[in-house]
Structures are given as C-alpha cells and as structure tokens.
Amino acid sequence: MSPFVAPVPEPDSGLERQAIIDLSAIANNIRHLRELSAPAQFMAVVKADAYGHGAVQVAQTAVAAGAQWLGTAHIAEALALREAGIDAPVLSWLHTPLSDFTAAVANNIDLGCSGWELEHIVGAVRALERPARVHLKIDTGLGRNGCSREHWSALVDAAMGYQREGLIRVVGVFSHLAVADAPERPETDEQLERFREAVAVAEAAGADLEVRHLANTPATLSRPDTHFDLVRVGLGIYGLSPFPDRTSAQLGLVPAMTLATHLALCKNVPAGQGVSYGLNYVTAAPTTLGLVPMGYADGIPRVATGGPVRVNGITYPVVGRIAMDQMVIDLGPHAEVAGAVSDSGSEAGPDVAAGPALGATAVLFGNGHDGGPLVEQWADAAGTINYEVVTRISQRVPRSYTGGVECTGGDQ
Ligand SMILES: *Cc1c(COP(=O)(O)O)cnc(C)c1O
C-alpha cells in the first residue's frame, strides 16, 4: 500500500528533455522507511549525485524529512554538501591515498576507515589540531572494502590508542551486506553474526559507539534484525524496489524520477522501412514513426531496444537501435496522424483524429500512477537493475524539481 497518493508529475513544457524529481515523493518515502526502521536513526545515502536525482536537493529534502545522517561514498561528494550549506552529519566511506582527509576533518565529515586510512586521518588531525570522527569498517563477507577479520583487533587497538591521545573518536562500527536483496540466502545471517562479533571486540577495547550500522535498503525493508542504531538507505528513498519480485507500490514507495522529452518528428513511412543504425527493425506495414530525442548520451542504455515510451497515454516499445541522441518508436498504422509529415511531404489535414504529433510529451519512466512505464522495464530491457538506470541519466538531461520541502504537507 502506498502511504500517500502521488500525483503524476507534469513535465515542464518549456524543457526539451528533463528528469523531473518529485521531492515530496522522496520526503514521503523517507517518512515511510523511517517508520519501518525506528528507533534506529536514518542515513539518506546521496552518493553519485543522489543516484542521479541531485545530491544537494535530495540531501536538503532528506534532512527536512527527518534523516539524521547523510552518506556519500567520496569525501568530495560530502564536501559539495558542506559547500551548499548542509551541516547535518555526513559519513564518507570510500577513500584513496589521494582523498582530501584534511578537508574532510576541517569540514566535520565522519570518515569510514577500513585500515590504511587511519594514519592519513591522524595526519590530517595533527595538522589541523582538530579531532576526527571515525567509523571503523569490518568486512563481514562482502569481500570489498572493510578490514578483514584477522586484522580487526589490531585496527581497533590502533584506533583506540589514537582516541586515548585525543586525536580521533571512534563513533561507529559498520559493515555492508552482500545479498540482502535475496532474503532467503543464508549469508546475511553469517554477516550479521560476524558483525556482532566485531562490535563486541570494539566495545571490549573500550569503544563507546554512537552508531553500529549494517543495513542498506533491502535489509532495512526485509531484516529488522540488521537495523542496529542506524540504517543507510539509498535506493529506497528514491522510491525504487531492491527486490526483483516486489514493486515499489508493494513496498509503499513512490518512484521520484520521471524522465520525459517531446517527440522530435512524426513521420509516415511505407512498409519495408528500415529503422536506425543496422536497419534491425523493418516496418511490416505503412505506419508512423515517432522520433524520441534521447539516446545513450543521455544515459539510456544502447542495448535497451524494446524499452517503453509513453505518448498520449499509450506505451510503445523502442524499435531499432538506440543511438547517441535519439531512438524511434513505431506509433502504428494510423491512417493519418495529425501533424505528421508523410514521405511525400504533405501535412495531414487538421480534421483527422488526433494522434501522437510533433512535440507530444514522451515519458520513458515515471511513478507509474497513471499506468505509465517504470524504470524497471528499462532495466529489464538493458539487462541491468533500476539502480544503474537512474544513476546513469547523464548531465545532458536537466533536472527539474517539484514538490519542494515547503509543499510536502504533513501526514496525508
Ligand atoms: C550505496 C551504499 C548504501 C546504500 O545502498 P542501497 O541499497 O541503495 O540502500 C549503503 N551503504 C553503503 C556502504 C553503500 O555503499
């Protein structure tokens, strides 16, 4: 059940192509997810430009909706939030020796630490004469970032030594789950057990932890036993489902991004017309083609032929190859289409039934409340996941925002 009725965002007719971000949907998704995860605190993960939704706008919305924390992968992403005037607690967890730890400490950004970072953090602290807040990361089984279990005690001891010197404060212990999107798999239980052990080691060494945290979106939704003191939620706040077999609506979430443009051409063609590079699609009968002026430079996967485009309430699959700037839909054998230009160059008369026409709004995906296409259909067409589709919508597509913080109203 959806926690609120989301209107379908209206594309701004002044924009040729746009990703409309419904901030009230994000605020409501956060409120819904907070209800599921309370009393744990809530971190809105806004890395990668908030999964393509706009980091600053989403971060401001998240804080207003009650998120106590923000999360980014990179320090540079966290610094951009600070530059925008956002002073909520921020944690960054993916560093290289080239990361600007000094700027992070100077800007009060909490730092994830898997091991080697500790000396870099302490170096920045000594230069600034200002302590750092550190969250130690344990690899409980994902096999990526995080301290391996055999080195955990040594990392904890080193960090607690620096804490006694007043250089850092160990405020958190965290880890990341590998298969939380498949709740039936046993590895999450193993990771949970290893996480508890790692926390116990830190606490036995004297760490007075503010936050122990493990859960991402799928674990927040399906495993309350992973919530601990803080959940780190990315995908869910954008209204998308992490589970292959459960929709946003079934989870009470509303997709926040609508991707829309306007048809660049409607053209009547005869049977046998090949379409787009490779001529992989050939019209079976006389028909009207609609030209959608978005392509892989806008972040639409080139392999996603068959992805849905909604025009005038009807959803059409993309036919032929998706190119850098454009793709084509087959609008069907309308005898005549208003505004369409036939190959002979004659305009359809003004009295013919209105069909899709030059300039008609074309929606690639949205919140689905009008039965329109969903980002998951594009993910399926491209052989990927919803995370990747929204995150890769490129900067060539302007973002526009609706439902800002002041409009979200309380409970609805
Ligand atoms: C990206 C990320 C998250 C958020 O994951 P979602 O599945 O989008 O909720 C949480 N924690 C860490 C460490 C991450 O890198």
Give me the pLDDT at residue 330, please: 97
Domain membership of residue 312 (yes or no) is: yes
Domain membership of residue 227 (yes or no) is: yes
- State which ligand 1 atom lies nearest to the alpha carbon of 180: 7
Residues 82 and 138 in one domain: yes
Give me the pLDDT at residue 394, please: 98
Residue ranges in 38-109 assigned as alpha helix (H): 47-51, 55-64, 75-83, 101-106
Tell me the best of 26, 30, 41, 45 to mutate to test the pocket of ligand 1, counting ligand atoms within 8 Å of each CB and taking the most: 45
Domain boundary (203, 236, 269) is at 236
Domain membership of residue 308 (yes or no) is: yes
Domain membership of residue 14 (yes or no) is: no
- Tell whether omega for the bond before 39 is within 30 degrees of 0, i.e. cis: yes
In angstroms, rounded to a whole number, what is the distance separating the alpha carbons of residues 363 and 259? 6
Residues 219 and 355 in one domain: no
Residue type, 48: A
Tell me the best of 34, 74, 232, 385 to mutate to test the pocket of ligand 1, counting ligand atoms within 8 Å of each CB and taking the most: 232
Residue 47 annotated in active site: yes
Q: What is the pTM of this model?
A: 0.93
Residues 175 and 272 in one domain: no
Q: What is the pLDDT of residues 220-279, one digit of tens each?
A: 999 999 999 999 999 999 999 999 999 999 999 999 999 999 999 999 999 999 999 999
Domain membership of residue 35 (yes or no) is: no
Residues 229 and 160 in one domain: yes
The mean pLDDT of the chain is 93
Domain boundary (204, 236, 268) is at 236
pLDDT bin (cut points 50, 70, 90) of residue 365 is very high
Q: Residue 80 belongs to a domain with what CATH number?
A: 3.20.20.10
Residues 194 and 297 in one domain: no
What's the rounded mean pLDDT across residues 299-315? 97
Residue type, 115: G
CB 45 within 8 A of CB 59: no
Query: CA nearest 46: which of 73, 14, 79, 16?
Result: 73
Nearest CA to ligand 1 atom 6: 234
In angstroms, rounded to a whole number, what is the distance separating the alpha carbons of residues 238 and 27? 9
Domain membership of residue 197 (yes or no) is: yes
Domain membership of residue 7 (yes or no) is: no
Residues 80 and 168 in one domain: yes
Query: Quick one: what percent of the chain has pLDDT higher than 90?
Result: 88
What's the rounded mean pLDDT across residues 327-332? 97
DSSP string, 217-275: HHHHHH-GGG-TTEEEESGGGGT--SSTT--TGGGT----EEEEEE-SEEEEE-TT-EE
Q: What is the pLDDT of residues 84-98, one digit of tens each?
A: 999 999 999 999 999
Residues 273 and 140 in one domain: no
- State which ligand 1 atom lies nearest to the alpha carbon of 216: 9
Residues 118 and 165 in one domain: yes
Give me the pLDDT at residue 404, please: 82
- How many domains are there within the chain? 2
Residue 277 annotated in active site: yes
Give me the pLDDT at residue 351, please: 37
Domain boundary (236, 270, 300) is at 236
Query: CA nearest 235: which of 226, 224, 246, 225?
Result: 246
Q: Residue 338 belongs to a domain with what CATH number?
A: 2.40.37.10
Residues 143 and 279 in one domain: no
In angstroms, rounded to a whole number, what is the distance separating the alpha carbons of residues 9 and 410? 19
Residues 214 and 321 in one domain: no
Q: What is the pLDDT of residues 106-146, one digit of tens each?
A: 999 999 999 999 999 999 999 999 999 999 999 999 999 99
Domain membership of residue 247 (yes or no) is: no
Domain range for residue 351? 257-402
Residues 231 and 335 in one domain: no
Q: What spacing in Å lies between the alpha carbon of 344 and ligand 1's midpoint?
A: 55
Catalytic residue among 47, 51, 281, 316: 47
Residues 273 and 371 in one domain: yes
Nearest CA to ligand 1 atom 12: 176
Q: What is the pLDDT of residues 14-50, one digit of tens each?
A: 899 999 999 999 999 999 999 999 999 999 999 999 9
